Amino acid sequence: MAATGTLRGVPDRYSFSSPFSHGNDPWFRVGQVDVTTTVAVIGMGILSMFVWAIEGPSRSVSKQLWLVSSDYFNATGVLDGQVWRLVTWPIANQPDFWAILLFAVFYMLGSQLENLMGRRPFMWFLLLLTAVPAVVVTLVELVLTDFVGIAAGLRFIEIGVLVAFAAQYPQARFWPGIPALAMAGIIVAIDYLQILGDRNEYEFVLLTAIVATSLVGMRSFGFAQELSGIPAVRLPAAMTGSAAPRPPSATRSRKRGRGNLSAVPSAPANDPLADMEIDALLDQVAEHGLDSLSKDQRKRLEEHSKRLRKRRES
């Protein structure tokens, strides 16, 4: 399900930061591996597969991570005081081929979003995408009788990341040329059909909360500006970083047209995803000013400017 286009590798470097991350600032390095937020999430998912195999049918560790209703086969859940389940449920993944494919898609899309948002805002975005839907289903469990279900694994979070990617890059092409917005709509629709067929109220509420949190989250972090009908929530600066939208008065005083930004060239035409990323950054500068860019985002623009300047001089 990877987006089409030529994706450049990094010479003499073989690590998880290439070729999709385009220089994401890692939290730390393990050998040649840049541990970004995206890589850390996938790493925990892979580790959980080994735990699944080692613990055996008892699932003594994995079942302590699941988000599960208290009436699910006499299980204990958040309402019994196990609040950690609100954020641990995506970690527990069962080993199979589809899980590996899911990790690959999450890596490709998550790395693009992390590069756009910055590592810290993207980390907070994933935490919101995990915790808010979990809180929603827990609150519904308080209200509705026979509201029973379980959530575990990265599948729902990957859907949220896909929706966020499509909201930011609606015209990005997925194989075989399907726009990202259409692809996200198709996948979400198929999930809803499966859920309705199973009459699974728990997953219906969870999926709805995931999609809503993804869209509102992207708007709240200052992205997906085309979705003007989606509300944005004011988030603390510690979460959004310098990429947070400015108040309307400051925005109007610094707003500029894209024509004034031609000094920063866009990405080469043979890299559509990078080109859309630069376009998004230019739109953000035009809308909120240069100071609205995070350190990573400003570095990305500078790298593109230097790279294209060298091509013209050579």
N-term to C-term CA, the chain: 37
Based on the fold, state whether residues 217 and 255 are members of the same structural domain.
no
Q: Torsion angle of alpha carbons 155, 161, 167, 170, nearest 10°?
A: -80
> Is 256 among the domain residues?
yes
**DSSP result, 209-271:** HHHHHHHHHHHHTT--TT-TTS------HHHHGGGSPPPHHHHHHH---GGGGTTS----TT-
Based on the fold, state whether residues 262 and 290 are members of the same structural domain.
yes
Based on the fold, state whether residues 125 and 270 are members of the same structural domain.
no
Based on the fold, state whether residues 266 and 181 are members of the same structural domain.
no
Based on the fold, state whether residues 54 and 202 are members of the same structural domain.
yes
> Is 151 among the domain residues?
yes
Based on the fold, state whether residues 270 and 198 are members of the same structural domain.
no
Based on the fold, state whether residues 148 and 275 are members of the same structural domain.
no
Residue 8: per-residue pLDDT = 36
Total-model pTM: 0.71
Q: Given 237, 267, 287, which residue is the final one in a domain?
A: 237
Rounded to an integer, what distance in angstroms lies between the CA atom of residue 38 and that of residue 109? Answer: 9
Based on the fold, state whether residues 214 and 138 are members of the same structural domain.
yes
> Is 18 among the domain residues?
no
Three-state DSSP state, 189: helix
Q: Given 203, 237, 271, which residue is the final one in a domain?
A: 237
φ, ψ of residue 29 in degrees (nearest 5):
-120, 145
Based on the fold, state whether residues 218 and 261 are members of the same structural domain.
no
Q: What is the CA radius of gyration of the chain?
A: 20
Cβ within 8 Å of residue 99, ≥6 positions away: 45, 49, 93, 153, 154
Three-state DSSP state, 188: helix
Cβ within 8 Å of residue 37, ≥6 positions away: 27, 110, 114, 119, 122, 123, 126
> Is 14 among the domain residues?
no
Based on the fold, state whether residues 135 and 282 are members of the same structural domain.
no
> Is 159 among the domain residues?
yes
Residue 273: per-residue pLDDT = 59
Residue 260: per-residue pLDDT = 44
Residue 31: per-residue pLDDT = 82
Q: How many domains does the chain have?
A: 2
Range of the domain at 287: 246-313
Cis peptide bond upstream of 176, omega within 30: yes
Q: Which stretches of the chain score pLDDT less than 70?
A: 1-24, 73-74, 242-275, 285-292, 306, 308-314
> Is 6 among the domain residues?
no
> Is 74 among the domain residues?
yes
Cβ within 8 Å of residue 253, ≥6 positions away: none
What is the CATH number for 227? 1.20.1540.10
Based on the fold, state whether residues 176 and 218 are members of the same structural domain.
yes
Neighbouring C-beta atoms of residue 243, cutoff 10 Å: 24
Based on the fold, state whether residues 64 and 96 are members of the same structural domain.
yes
Q: Given 187, 218, 237, which residue is the final one in a domain?
A: 237
User: How far does Cα 261 stand from its chain's mean position?
Assistant: 28
